[in-house]
Structure 1
């Protein structure tokens, strides 16, 4: 860690001691953590520990609050590790090796918090009292997972909002921490905090698995606190099924409608909130002819089933227009055997 960066941290910590804000300090620590490579953490901790002043101790305590999420589970705090690995990607500790970064920061932070003002001890001590989940845009190409937190003294209530991309497989692509009134402009449904926290953790895990994931420039600076907050929710439910399909109760009373809907369910999979004109067109003109074996009744009912599903999603005009344009072609497309994929051809040959 360069001397200039250390000096900047001390200067900013001095201002934070005057602000006396646990939330402001945690957000600052998350931004600071996002700039550190694993090899830089131990030298910084050593420099702050040797300083021993209130600003240095606040920096250590704040970093320790967010380090578990930011630095992963098993990184090794070696002095000679000069790789460019970003914080958050785990490195297994060698047998008999040095302490992990988590252990290093946790021990230093616990010691540093002693003698600091009481408000410092409230950092990370939050309770999640409500959660929401829903579309971020008209077509659900992104969803929003929101968790509201408060500190034990009731001050500084805040909401974590994570944008989860649906088109590219459920990646966490953006995040922000705002005042609760920020939710007033969002059309989100109340949800189980444990389920929403699990979705946040799942989304960040997916992002970490994708090299070059298309994320917002602001995400790395919020990521450590976002993970820490999601992990603070008791018993987060990982890989929770979406309840959107179970809330759909307007299936048309037509022969073959249930069979048609089962294929729609198969197509939307675990991302049922994503329903755009392009996805509708793909379903009717590409996926069904390639993958689905349907009775004539189901083919006939499919346009009305898709319209009902689209009304459930807000009856977006462009979606309904896409159905009107593509649905008349469905019987001919389903009858065109050249469009069938390999699995469909095998299934048909076995019948």
Structure 2
């Protein structure tokens, strides 16, 4: 009551409104995942009833402020009757809060990199007092309210102060349609209320009822946040433009195209929705959380992400015309976070749905996240061993694996159905020519075996398409399964250039032939191709698998 009396005596309406807002926030009954209401707290109406039962000027003032902010018409009528019967003298602005009106104009303050923005709303109370609500909406956290505060004074004065304080060529303050501002802030508040874990600051969500009241004075019918639409064709065109640019020179292979798909997924579906705007904050989220949690792939594949990200940041900022100093700051963030990233991807961690459960507290955050049988926790070595099985066809095949060189064997025509023998020979000639030019005899044997297996298992797959694209795809599959593009100094572009076929050959023709081998698209979206048999693996590839097997067993 002493705090209420002091607020009531102040010339500024904000202290009393802030007390009422904090009270309402504490007893708010809206669902809030991860932050259940304290069971020890009584219900809001029970607390308010104590104010009705104690006829003091302080309780009258608090009831009036609560009723003004709560948006509860029944409570408002009840409070008016009670205060009228008490004959307490209260400020006019407090008794006439329903006459408050928004100040003309709403302002938006945002940075060019698009991490978030501040939306500023002004309210004029009866009697002329003004207050302003500034709401920070964070796009990296999902376009939700991360913080907000309410200050006394005019909207113009606050905006000018923000403009002066920022003193930043990369930050702009512009007007915003009031109806759109109401729609955006309302959506961001509601999303924040159901976010796990909940976001709390010194002023949020204590000021949420006051902010909601101020925003509710704005006209409705506006448009909320609309994420830019990026079709698959748009993303493909962007990827092609990057790899054809000086920034992407020497990076165009299947592995890095797959990684870039992930960067574009993050850029279009998360943050501000613009894959060409990278900030230090976005880099930190991507490297320390999003890729390790979302992308299931082996370490050699994931380890390439920082290098590719640096090149793509340079390309993106050049396309958007972003100041060089900001580009350098963003690249410095990659340098800062890469050591932690490289450590994370080499450590056991929950991924996919398991990661979501861990973030919600449903799993032990220290792992492990698998079992080795009989409900015993899986060790790191056991988890990594299981990742080797698909390459060779299972645990027994991995146990029996040797590193003897593949023989220089002829193409097995006996495995090829009569109706596709002519096409198989046509493809074989091109495969052999490519292997003589770019590979060795072991890889030629692997490619010949692949051709024979595809002809036997799915003759129609071999019959479709041109001979050169089929041969290029078979050589790509053999090379990809044996880590040639990662360890042999050859790029996918060099292979496709040798055949004179398009860059889409691995993803289009290769997909069809892999499906003929029983390899699903999801099996090779990230990381090396796992063909499920050592018969297609060179001695060098099998030697690396054996070394990994023995290391993980140790």
Q: Of the two structures, which has the highest relative contact order with CA contacts closer than 8 Å and spacing of 6 or more?
A: 1
What TM-score bracket applies, with the shorter chain setting the length?
0.5 to 0.7
1:258-286: CA deviation from partner (whole Å, max 9, x where unpaired): xx9xx979943584376315757969xx8
- Indicate the residue corresponding to 1:276 in structure 2: 279
Q: Say if 2:17 and 2:65, in contact at 8 Å, map to a contact too.
A: yes
Of 316, 328, 333, the match for 1:306: 316
Give the Cα separation in 1 of the matches to 2:79 and 2:184. 29
Alignment map for 1:1-351 (pairs within 5 Å): 8=1, 11-36=2-27, 39-68=42-71, 102=72, 105-112=75-82, 114=84, 115=87, 116-123=90-97, 125-135=100-110, 139-153=113-127, 155-178=128-151, 179=153, 180=155, 181=158, 182-184=161-163, 185-186=165-166, 187=171, 188-235=173-220, 237-241=222-226, 267-268=267-268, 271-272=271-272, 275-277=278-280, 279=282, 306-312=316-322, 316=326, 317-319=328-330, 342=522
Rate the CA distance shift 1:277–1:117 in 2: closer, same or farther, 3 A.
closer
How many angstroms does 1:198 deviate by?
Answer: 1.6
Q: Say if 1:30 and 1:221, in contact at 8 Å, map to a contact too.
A: yes
* 3-state SS, counterpart of residue 129 of structure 1: coil
Q: Which protein is bigger by CA-based radius of gyration?
A: 2
1:293-344: CA deviation from partner (whole Å, max 9, x where unpaired): xxxxxxxxx8886234442478613347899xxxxxxxx6996869x97499
* 3-state SS, counterpart of residue 148 of structure 2: strand
* 3-state SS, counterpart of residue 149 of structure 1: strand
Q: Say if 2:93 and 2:125, in contact at 8 Å, map to a contact too.
A: no
Q: Say if 1:174 and 1:218, in contact at 8 Å, map to a contact too.
A: yes
> After the TM superposition, which of the residue ranges 158-167 and 210-219 deviates more from structure 2?
210-219
5+ unaligned residues in a row in structure 1: which ranges? 1-7, 69-101, 246-254, 291-301, 324-331, 346-351
1:97-127: CA deviation from partner (whole Å, max 9, x where unpaired): xxxxx35532333334545332323435131
Q: Say if 1:127 and 1:233, in contact at 8 Å, map to a contact too.
A: yes
Alignment length (residue pairs): 279
* 3-state SS, counterpart of residue 14 of structure 1: helix
Give the Cα separation in 1 of the matches to 2:93 and 2:492. 66
Q: Say if 1:241 and 1:270, in contact at 8 Å, map to a contact too.
A: no
Give the Cα separation in 2 of the matches to 1:49 and 1:105. 11
5+ unaligned residues in a row in structure 2: which ranges? 30-41, 231-239, 246-262, 298-311, 335-490, 494-502, 511-519, 526-554
Rate the CA distance shift 1:280–1:33 in 2: closer, same or farther, 3 A.
closer
TM-score (norm 2): 0.41
How many angstroms does 1:158 deviate by?
Answer: 2.5
Q: Say if 1:129 and 1:150, in contact at 8 Å, map to a contact too.
A: no
* 3-state SS, counterpart of residue 219 of structure 1: coil
Rate the CA distance shift 1:37–1:119 in 2: closer, same or farther, 3 A.
closer
- Aligned CA RMSD, in angstroms, stands at 4.9
Rate the CA distance shift 1:112–1:17 in 2: closer, same or farther, 3 A.
farther
- Indicate the residue corresponding to 2:354 in structure 1: none
